[in-house]
Amino acid sequence: MKMANHRMANGWIGYKGNLLALFHANPNYLCKRVKKALSDNHHSLHEHSDELRNMIFEAAGENCPEAQLYLATQYLNAGHAELSLAWYEKAVSNGSDEATFTLAEIYHHGKGVAPDNERAFQLYLRLANRGDVKSQKIVGIMCFYGHGCPQDKKKAAYWIGKIYDEDFEAQGFWDDNELWKFE
């Protein structure tokens, strides 16, 4: 038994060494591998193999936004808000739009944290500027009511007007609030 464990440990060390060598030669290798493994394997973190868990943590530590987003989601679902927020923030800083939207929702609705409409607005605005229709609608509504930003019906009309043809709810909001008056 001792011999088998020793062989397994040496195999893992050799495997991990090769994986890290590949990672250092091509920084995207580990991130791509983790992304593929996560898309093929929809389990919670504690249900993954030790090998995959280690790869996820390694990739997250090496600024892989998919791994960071995965850890953030797992920690949020487990009720660890502080750890979750830290990983979401890292994924946002590494360009994850999905993490940006989720973090905006967390702050907007106070999921595990005190609501922070200003931070939520900043995150939604980042996505709105990138063309995300859902975020554009939220930014328009927040501008209209002054949630997280100064009330500005002209900006509300701008954002809702951008998506008027694409979003049925935006059309209703535009019409109900007579936003054409603020163009």
Q: What is the pLDDT of residues 84-113, one digit of tens each?
A: 999 999 999 999 999 999 999 999 999 889
Per residue in 122-172, pLDDT (tens digit) is 999 999 999 999 999 999 999 999 999 999 999 999 999 999 999 999 999
Contact 38, 66 (CB under 8 A): yes
Q: What is the pLDDT of residue 39?
A: 72
Report how far residue 134's alpha carbon sits from residue 139's, in angstroms, rounded to the nearest whole number.
9
Report how far residue 77's alpha carbon sits from residue 111's, in angstroms, rounded to the nearest whole number.
11
Q: 54: burial class by Cβ within 10 Å (0-12, 13-18, 19+)?
A: middle
pLDDT of 25 > 90? The answer is: no
Q: What is the pLDDT of residue 56?
A: 85
pLDDT of 121 > 50? The answer is: yes
Q: What is the pLDDT of residue 35?
A: 75
Contact 64, 36 (CB under 8 A): no
pLDDT band for position 46 (cuts 50, 70, 90): low
Residues 6+ apart with CB under 8 A from 41: 48, 52
The tokens describing 160, both together, are 């809702």
Q: Express as a percent the part of the chain with pLDDT over 90.
A: 59
Contact 44, 74 (CB under 8 A): yes
